[in-house]
Amino acid sequence: PMAQRQANETLAGLNAAHPNHAEILTLLARIELANTSIPNAGSFALRIPNFDAPLDRVEQLVERALKADPDFAEALVLKAWTRFLDSKDAEVAELLARAEQIDPQATWLRANQADLATVQGRNDEAIAGYRAVLDQPEKERYLHLIVLRRSWVAHAQAGRLKDWEALARTYMERRSDDPYLPLFYAEHLLKTRQDPDAAIAMAKRSHDRANPLFRDQMIGAAEWIKAHQLREKSGGWSTESTALLEHGKLVSRIDATNLIGYVCGLHRSVETLLLLSERPEVGEEGKRALFACALHTRDPRRIGYFAQIGIDLNAPLPPTPWSPLEYTWIYEDPATFQALLAAGADPGRPSSNGQKSIEAAVRASTAADSPFIKALDANKR
Question: What DSSP string runs through 251-313?
Answer: HH-S-HHHHHHHHHHHHS-STTTGGGGG-TTTHHHHHHHHHHHHHHTT-GGGHHHHHHTT--T
Q: What is the pTM of this model?
A: 0.85
Count CA atoms closer than 13 A to 123's CA, side-chain side.
15
Q: Which residues of 198-229 are buried (b: 16+ CB within 10 A; e: fewer)?
A: ebbebbebbeeebeeebbbbbbbbbbbbbbbb
Looking at residue 84, its amino acid is F
User: In the beta sheet, which residues pair with residue 350?
Assistant: 357
Judged on CB neighbours under 10 Å (0-12, 13-18, 19+), 50 is exposed
47 vs 51: CA distance, rounded Å: 8
Looking at residue 82, its amino acid is T
359 vs 338: CA distance, rounded Å: 12
Question: How does pLDDT run along the chain (381 residues), one tens digit per residue?
Answer: 434 554 455 556 655 554 577 988 998 898 888 888 777 777 789 998 777 778 888 999 999 999 999 999 999 999 999 999 999 999 999 999 999 999 999 999 999 999 999 999 999 999 999 999 999 999 888 899 999 999 999 999 999 999 999 999 999 998 888 888 999 999 999 999 999 999 999 999 887 777 889 999 999 999 999 999 999 999 999 999 999 999 999 999 999 999 999 999 999 999 999 999 999 989 999 999 999 999 999 999 999 999 999 999 999 998 889 999 999 999 999 999 999 999 999 999 998 887 789 999 999 988 989 999 999 999 987
User: Are 184 and 206 spatial neighbours (Cβ–Cβ below 8 Å)?
Assistant: no
- 42 dihedral zone (left: phi>0; alpha: psi -120 to 50; beta): left
241 vs 246: CA distance, rounded Å: 9
149 vs 184: CA distance, rounded Å: 7
Dihedral, CA of residue 227, residue 232, residue 235 and residue 240, to nearest 10:
-20
302 vs 276: CA distance, rounded Å: 14
End-to-end CA distance of the chain: give it in Å, rounded.
65
User: Are 251 and 219 spatial neighbours (Cβ–Cβ below 8 Å)?
Assistant: yes
310 vs 345: CA distance, rounded Å: 12
User: In the beta sheet, which residues pair with residue 357?
Assistant: 350
186 vs 103: CA distance, rounded Å: 36
Q: Which residues of 87-100 are buried (b: 16+ CB within 10 A; e: fewer)?
A: eeeeebbebbebbb
Three-state SS at 88: coil
User: Are 298 and 333 spatial neighbours (Cβ–Cβ below 8 Å)?
Assistant: yes
C-alpha distances in angstroms, 32 versus 62, 69, 260? 11, 20, 33
User: In the beta sheet, which residues pair with residue 109?
Assistant: none
Give the list of residues 6+ apart from residue 98 with CB closer than 8 angstroms, or none: 76
